Amino acid sequence: MVHLLRASFRYAARQDWDRIAKALKPVYTASTVSQAEERFSEFGETWGKKYPAIIRLWESSWAEFVPFLQFDEEIRRVVCTTNPIESVNARIRKAVRARGHFPNEQAALKCVYLAVTSLDPTGQGRARWTQRWKAALNSPLDKP
């Protein structure tokens, strides 16, 4: 979802990013596919003439986007928030790049393990993580 939004901004001028994000939010927060289609048609009427590439991007990605709407709102919120995942990946890349090469697979795994454990040396991060994700962990996997 985040990648689709970011790709949309690639086709738009910087001064329009905030308005496009605001116009797309009803599309990906819609509770049903029909509501999302309706909101997307409204988005197309507003921005289609100025940025037809964004419309084509969403239309070509619609089949991959629709399953996202089947999840509960809390799960969608977690899926849309990729910053923690990207942060972990960046730290692992940094540790691997600093090391350069590895004599075997076990050495590479040890480097990744140490990089991940150094993210939260006190162990307090797990408590914060569970507080933020409780609603998502307790929500049903798909809507009834």
pLDDT in tens, 24-65: 999 988 988 999 999 999 999 999 999 999 999 999 999 998
Regarding whether 64 and 7 lie in a shared domain, the answer is: yes
Give 100's DSSP letter.
Answer: -
Q: Which residues contact 66 (CB under 8 A, 6 or more apart)?
A: 33, 36
CA count, 13 A, side-chain hemisphere, 4: 20
Q: Are residues 64 and 87 in the same domain?
A: no
Instruction: Work out how many domains the chain is built from and give that number.
Output: 2
Let me know: does 9 contact 55? Beta carbons within 8 Å.
Answer: no
Same structural domain for residues 8 and 63?
yes
Task: Please check whether residues 48 and 92 belong to one and the same domain.
Answer: no
pLDDT, tens digit (0-9, with 9 covering 90-100), for 80-112? 766 677 778 888 899 899 988 899 999 999 999
**91 within domain boundaries:** yes
The answer as to whether 144 is a domain residue is no
Helices and strands (DSSP H and E) totals, the chain: 8, 0
Q: pTM of this prediction?
A: 0.62
Same domain? For 64 and 94 the reply is no
Domain interval for residue 87 = 83-138
